[in-house]
Each structure stands twice: as structure tokens, then as C-alpha cells.
Structure 1
């Protein structure tokens, strides 16, 4: 049967697909998470936004959604695919490798935050079962927002990743516990509850066994066809079967989706499945978040803003204090503990899943769930702001801990030392070699984490922005032996060279260059030597292959130095290399546009 072109389902589908097509690239260009964009779009085009004006302006029908229930099935599919993607990120091996952080720090953070928030809600009149559900829901933090901002290997990202990993794992038992606490489950007596637990546990065990046996050959066969469509079909089939199995056992279908993801993560086809399902995951998550945005009524926010602001601040404060205190107890630096606590303080997209499960179990009323959904939507929206605030506060704390900005600025800089601007991996290697040959140095970096780490390792490093004249005065570059620029920021290095050369015409300046064209710009501004990364890599490769072919080290080194001098002369004189593809130049104008 053909779908009428003016049907609600068709119109709503076009709005959702159009929103996904616009929000993801637009917010990516603004370097803002699409999660926030989807929520805002839901608020704008939903029944509480422009959708409420359709009767007055009929043309809005084609760009709005008037009934949030019409895309509820898509939202449920979005939840299932979201949990499937979370499962893909887990795997038993990954959990075991981080077991101390995950099951120690992560479990403590989730339990304490849930307990304190739940206790506060119980004291203001919520039933104990409802307070438990709300406390655990609000204790969760956003994987979709936090990890892209921190990564998984930074000083903030590693503990944040461990806590988020535990929350993803704990989602299944939390939802199961809500089902156990449901009034209908308690009224039915102990026998049905035990039956559900036993049947659910048996189903999960059978799925784990069957997955280990059946999934590798299934995906191997799909891989032999070299058909992405078949790979996608196999992945979705596994999700559907797992969800149906857990539903039949009395558990939530999202339990099956999470297990399906974990099982696939144990196979060698995990990366291919992630790539194949990524577009559908993003779209499904977008639909889910749009429905959340549609549940937010700006007029209700305006009418109840004191309660909403109090709730948001309360949740943020509790989670910040608990997370920060646990990290300090675990030995983290004060700045890292505070920044991680603030970053993890807002609720999560998975909070909305737990709220839905609590409503389905009749532990909380729909109106209560709607209030906390609004709190969660506000929390998700302000997460980037919280991240900025947390970073700035952590920076001040680390500065004070390192002796304060004034004391850092007053640190004496001995004469005839090499000033190294940018004390990351490259700057530290330069410093190590200078130290090996008995040359003094002082480092400068604008990243307080890098400064604090370097100072704790005994390096003389100052915090500051070299482009500011005050720091140039403090470095006394006129008495320095040389200036080394190691940062991978072409525009900044050009600016510094222009500024320094104008004031210190005889100073030796050696700068890291992105390519030969950036090096040529540096030479024009007056550097003594510019070191193009691609050129040096080529020379090192040449040296390695010649030595491996049996050529004596002495002649190889001599020829490498000769070739380096020849290429540098060519860059100085012509501003380019004849061998360099002209379409891949990095001119000053390109760098400025990039900045």
C-alpha cells in the first residue's frame, strides 16, 4: 500500500532525516557536539515549539512534528542501536585490562552519586523505589559528549573513560533492578520474580555461548562476499535476535542489544561492524534525542525555572564533589580531579533510557519523568560550557599549586640558555639532547598541564604565552644563546618569528616547519634554520635504508648532511623544491585561512 504524501508519518520522517542531514555537518563545523543540536532541533520543530503553530500557519506542517508519539518507534530503535554501539566499545578483554579503574573508581563514583541524589529525593517526598531509580539515572554521565572532548588517554580522559565504561556496563543491571522493584513484580510474589531472574540469566548465558560459537563463522562468511550490505544485514539480524530473546525472557530488549554489541566486540570483525553501522547509529541516536527535545516545553521551563535551576545545580554539584573527591583519594592532581568532576557532572543520554524504564516499571509518574527529562536535556546542553569552566578552574588551581603565576613569571632565567617554546614531546626531546651535551635551557608552554608535568620531572619550564611582549621581556632573549620553536602551529610560529626577529636581529632562531613552503615563509621572516617535518622524515628514511643495505655509517651521514644543506639552500633561494607537488603547498595564506 502506497504511503500518502501528506501523511503524518511521511512528513515526520522527512523532518527527522532533514534535521539529521543539517545538524550533524553544521554542528561539526562549529565544533559542537551534534547531541546538543538534535535536542535543540527537537525543541524547535516539536509539538511544544513551532509544531504548536501549525493551526495558525499550515505551511509549518511540512517542517515540524506535531505529535511526538508518531516517531516513538524510531526513538526506541535509536535506544537499541545506541546500546548496541556501547556494547561494541566494551569487550571483556578491555574491561579486564582496566578493571581497577572501572570496577574501583567507576563503581564507587556511580554508587555514591546515585546514593546521595536518591537520598535527597527520598527526603523531599519521593518513594524509596522511585528515589533509587532517579538517583541511578541522574548519576550517569554522557559518553557521547565527554569522550570526544577528552579522548581516552589524556589525564582527564583516562579516569573519565573508566567511569563511563562502568556506567555502560551497569546500565543492564540498573534496568533489571527497576523491573524487579516494579509494583506488579512485587504484587505477584517471589516466584515470578525468581522465574524471571533464572530465565533471564539462562538466556544471557546461552547467548554468550552461542555468540562465541556462531558469530565468527557468520561474519567470516559475510566478509568473503565483500558486500557491506550483507555485513550490515548480519549485524542488524544479531541485534534483532538478541533483543527478541531477552524480551521473551522477561528482560528489556536493550539488554539484548548491549549483549550483542559485547559479543561482536570479542570477534575480529568489530571494527568493520562499527564502520558499517556508524551512519545508522548516528541517525538513530539523532531521532532519540529529537524526541527528548520535543518533550521539553520552553513555556514550562519559564514557569518552573526556579525548580529546574535548583535541580540542575544540585545534580551538578553532587556529582562534581563526589567524582573530584574520589579522584583526589586515588592520587589525581587537584586540577585534574576538579576538571574531571565538572565534566562528568551533567546527566547523560542514557539517563533518559533509565527514566523511561522507571516509568515503565511504574516507579515514577510520567510528570516526574518529564521534569527530570527536562533537567537532563538542560544538563546535556550546558555540558560544553561546564567543560570550559572546569578546564579554566583546573588551570588556575594548577598554576597556584605550581607556585602561582606571579612566581612562575619571576623565575630567574639564566643567561646564555636556549629558550624552547612549546614543551610537548618535541620540545622535551630537544631539552634532553641539550642536557646531554651540557647546554642550559628554559622551556615555555601555554598548556598548564604540560608545564606542571614537566616541572614535576625536573625541567625548568615557565607557563605563559610567548606572543605577549611581557614574556619576551622576562625571557631576556637578547642574552639567550638561541630560540627553538617546536609547536605544530604554523601561524603562531610565523607570528613569533616576526615579533622576535624585529627585536633581536642577531638571535639564532631554529623553528619546526610543517612543510617546505612553511619553511620558506619562516626563512623569509628571518629564521636561522627551519626544519620541515616531511623533509626530515625523508632524510631519516634514506639514512635507514642505506645503512640497512650495508653502506658505511660515515659516508651515509656525510651524504645526508650534504643533501640537507642543498635542500635548505634551495628552500631559502626559491621558496620551494622542484620535486615538491605544487598542489600540496602550505602557503602563508593557507595557514592563515586554517587558523
Structure 2
């Protein structure tokens, strides 16, 4: 029997083993397309969508069933919302309740009321028009979250407001699915008991998840951590996410909402960071797979057969939705720039619309052809969103910072001109002020100027990389110029201008790295120092002493390293220009350490 089993296994491996070709094609498409699109400034989402279209049924034809890939890839959205939940402690979520149930509810309700008319005006039944418009209101969580992450706006106030709206839309899928059942032929005759039973099951699922998260999850991870099996912890993290998703789905709710709730419940756990690290690789891969699946699902045959309806519906839905989003944002006191960015980010339909349309088709509200048309409309809107974001970023002028309470540099006469008042410039100013030296401080960031004013500093507005600003700031009459700007190119430019226009004024400069330090030497500064060099040596000295060296031994070794670095640096400068100054600095610093 054993031999027979081995024979069957070998035959299965030969004829029906794991098919890796599809996996290789998916990975290759992502690896090739995404870096190219990011390099071109088009973003990773558009790269995934284009790769999916290229390898799908209407491209090279490697895949013919995009929907099956989408079903698997939806786990990427689920895992993404779990990670978002980990960042949302219950207290933080509670503080967002006004934005979720205020801003989110107003936008969703007003958008539904507006978008329903698109289908009615095109001659479709009211019920079908309601479902079509409502589905388009549900924004793509995957695309918007990815865009926010790439733009670094996840934790900014405007990013949190968008997340609040997305959370409300995820919650809205539940009553919307119930409405679909009600609107179905014969749905109005359904008994109240059936509806109450559905609500009760949903509430029970939420209660079960909350209780499990509060009393079971943390002890479970503590027990698993005691055994120290790393792969088991990863398996447990996936079990929690997928288990919560399945539980919510069984209760008639959204899988993504279940994962989000699980993340919130674990957000204050001591294992939060471990869970995030375990889930992150799966989230990235599956979310990329989701975008690939969306690209594959773009059915060009349907678009060709119904191009008139689709050509009208896509801009109609997107423009009306954008008008509503912008109006609601401005009504809720959002700035013009924030309102416009939110409008462009959330203009598309979302992945939950696929669920809504499929359900409506099962209940007879939508015909299969209408379902295919609406699915194509949603996918096209998803594809257009990254392009619209690129156009927004390139065409919309950057919002100029407010100059309220900020005075321009003019007629300054301090003995020392300090350019830049960031973390580096603030420390430099302390010993100079302690000795009573007069400082003229200029900074190009109005917010930093206002913040410094709260601590009693008088900072003037000005770009030190401009010659007229240097003259206005009194550089010609200063005894010393210190270039402490937060930008390497600006610091180099300041050094070059000062050497050319004010050759008798010594210039001290902040270097960002070794290469920048060499450029500053070439520009003719009298003294430069890499911003992390001395602090790193001090940490190294402390490490040596904690590992057994005496203070004298540690200081001697650090002094030798400083000297060796100065000598190497001197060799790298043209003709050893900086050699004397570097070595003197090294010797002085070494004496200070002793």
C-alpha cells in the first residue's frame, strides 16, 4: 500500500502538481511594472493596474478568470484594514466619532441622493439606478489607503478625515445590502422577524469579536510568545485577522470591517508591533495582487459593446461625486487645498461595489449586462484615479504658507548671522546667546518662525540662499555667518554666495554627510562639521566605557578615530586645503574629551 501511495503521489506531482507558472507571471509583472511606473512618477497603483491589464485576458492572455484572483486578493484589503486598526486605539477612534458619523454620514447620504439620478436620467428603473449610484458612492479603500501611504498623509489630520469617511462607508455596506434585499421583487413582503434576525446575528458577531479581543487574544499571544516559535506567532496573527473577517462575514457584515475591529481591539496590546511586522509582508503582496486583479477584470469586450453608456456614466458619476465631496468638505470647514485633494482621491467607485452589484443581480434588481457595465465603470474609475492624482499634483499650485505674524528680514545688524533655526540652529544659538552675542536669525519656514516666537525668539523670514536676502540680513557687516539650513543644496549655495560677496566674513556650515562636507570645503567655508559626526563619536565613547574601557582609554581611542577621519578627509580635499583646520579641530576636540 505504501508503494502504491508513493506511486500515486509521484503521478500527481507529474501531472497535477502545483502550477507555479501563474505565480511567476504575477510576480514578474509586478516586479517589472511597479518600479517603472514609480520611476516615471505615476505611482505603484497605476503600475499594478497596467500590469494586470497586460497579463490578463485582453493582454498577453496568461489569465482568463480575473474574478477568482480578485476573491483571493480581497484579503489584501482585509489585512490592510487590520493594520489601520492597529494604529487606531479605541480612545483615538472615539475621538474621531464626530468625523465618522458626521462628515462621513453627510458625504455618503448626499452622494447617494445625487448619483442615483444618473441611472434615472439614462432611462433605467429607479431600483437599479439606486443600486448603481449607491455602489459608486463606496470609495475604494485599497486605492485611497495606498495613495495616502505613498503621500505620507496617513497620520496627518486631512488623512485621518479621509480614513473616517472610509470607515463610515465600510459600515454603510451592511444597511445597503439590507436595502437591496428590500428593493428586490417580493422583498417588501419579507417578514419583520427575518430582518430582526439578520440584525441580531450581526450584533452578535460584533459582540463575540469584542469579547474575544478583550479577554482571549492578548493571553493567547502571551502564551505563544512563551514558547518562542516565531512561525507560530505569524500563523496566529493571520488566524486572528482571517478569523475576525470570517466571523463578520458570517454575521452578514464586511470582512474588512471585522479585520479593522480586530486591529482596534489589539491596538493597545503589547504585541501590537509584532503583529504589524508579521502581517505587513502578506498585506503588501495581497494588496498588490488585488490591483493586478482589478486590471485583469477590465473587460474590453463589454466596454466596446456598451461604450456609449460607459462613456457617459464614468464622467457623470465621477464629476457628480467630486462635486458632492468638495461641497461637503468646504461646508465642514476644510481648506480649499484639502477639499480639492480629498475630491480627487475619493472620486472613484470601490471594491465593495462589486459585492453590492453581485447581490443586486442575484435578487433580480440588476440584469447580468447591467452588472457587467457597472463593474466596468467602477474599474475604469479606479484606473483613472492615479492619473487624476498625478495631474492634481502637477497642475494645482502648492499652497503658499501663511505669513501671518512673520516679518521679512530687512536692515538686520546682528554680530552673528544664523541662517536656519531648525534643531541644529537652535542648539548653536544657545552658547552664543549665553555669551551675550547679538544674533540675526533668518528662517524660510513660517511655521518654525511662529513656533520659535512662542519661546521668546525673534526670527526673521528669509531664504539665505538668495543674495538680496543676505544683504538685507546684514551679512556684509556681520562678524560671522553660520549656515545651518535644513537643506544641503541651500547650505552649499549660501557658502558660495558668502565666499564671493563677503570674502572677509568667516563662514561656519552644517554638513549633512561626507560628500556634502567636501562640497562645502570646495565652496570655501572656514569650518564645517557633519551633523551626526561628533554625536556618533560620543555614543561610541559611552559604549566603550560601558563595555569595560576606562574613560581615559575610551577618549584616547575616540581621539585616534577622529584624527584618522580628519587625515582621510584632508586627503580627499583638493591639495589638502582643509588638512590643517581638520587636524586642529580633531586635536581640540580630543583635549575637550579628556
Give the TM-score taking structure 2 as reference length: 0.74
8 A Cα contact 2:465 2:494, kept in partner: yes
8 A Cα contact 1:523 1:530, kept in partner: yes
- Answer with 265-274 or 421-430: which moved more: 421-430
Q: Which aligned pairs between 1:26-425 and structure 2 lie closer than 5 A?
A: 26=36, 33-48=43-58, 50=59, 60-61=60-61, 64-96=62-94, 99=95, 102-124=96-118, 125=120, 127=127, 129-130=130-131, 133-134=134-135, 136-138=137-139, 142-151=144-153, 157-183=155-181, 184=184, 186-296=188-298, 300=303, 308-309=314-315, 311-328=317-334, 337-347=335-345, 351-362=349-360, 365-366=370-371, 367-387=373-393, 389=395, 392-395=397-400, 398=401, 402=404, 412-416=410-414, 418-425=416-423
Q: Deviations over 1:469-513 (max 9, x none)?
A: 554455453234433222344344234312321222112322112
Distance verdict in 2 for CA 1:452–1:385, change over 3 Å: farther
- When Rg is computed on C-alpha atoms for both structures, the one with the higher figure is 2
8 A Cα contact 1:431 1:441, kept in partner: no
Q: SS of 1:361's equivalent?
A: helix
Q: Deviations over 1:433-472 (max 9, x none)?
A: 7667462414132x565567668987443254x4455544
Q: CA deviation at 1:28?
A: 5.7
8 A Cα contact 2:407 2:461, kept in partner: yes
Which residue of structure 1 lines up, in the alignment, with residue 528 of structure 2?
A: 530
8 A Cα contact 2:139 2:347, kept in partner: no
Q: SS of 1:413's equivalent?
A: coil
Where does structure 1 lack aligned partners over 5 or more consecutive residues? Answer: 51-59, 329-336, 549-558, 581-595
Where does structure 2 lack aligned partners over 5 or more consecutive residues? Answer: 1-11, 121-125, 547-555, 570-577, 587-594
Distance verdict in 2 for CA 1:188–1:293, change over 3 Å: same
Q: CA deviation at 1:285?
A: 0.5
Distance verdict in 2 for CA 1:25–1:579, change over 3 Å: farther
Distance verdict in 2 for CA 1:288–1:135, change over 3 Å: closer
Q: Which aligned pairs between 1:436-515 and structure 2 lie closer than 5 A?
A: 437=436, 439-445=438-444, 447=445, 450=448, 459-464=458-463, 466-472=464-470, 474-475=472-473, 477-515=475-513
- Answer with 490-499 or 22-31: which moved more: 22-31
Mapped partners of 2:413, 2:585: distance in 1: 42
Which residue of structure 1 lines up, in the alignment, with residue 573 of structure 2?
A: none
Q: CA deviation at 1:245?
A: 2.6
Give the TM-score taking structure 1 as reference length: 0.74
Q: How many residues align?
A: 528
Mapped partners of 2:274, 2:249: distance in 1: 27
Q: SS of 1:352's equivalent?
A: coil
8 A Cα contact 1:86 1:168, kept in partner: no
Q: CA deviation at 1:197?
A: 0.8
Q: SS of 2:237's equivalent?
A: helix
1:15 pairs with 2:25: yes
Distance verdict in 2 for CA 1:37–1:215, change over 3 Å: same
Q: Deviations over 1:354-387 (max 9, x none)?
A: 3123213317752234313322331234324434
Alpha carbon RMSD of aligned pairs, Å?
4.3
8 A Cα contact 1:420 1:441, kept in partner: yes
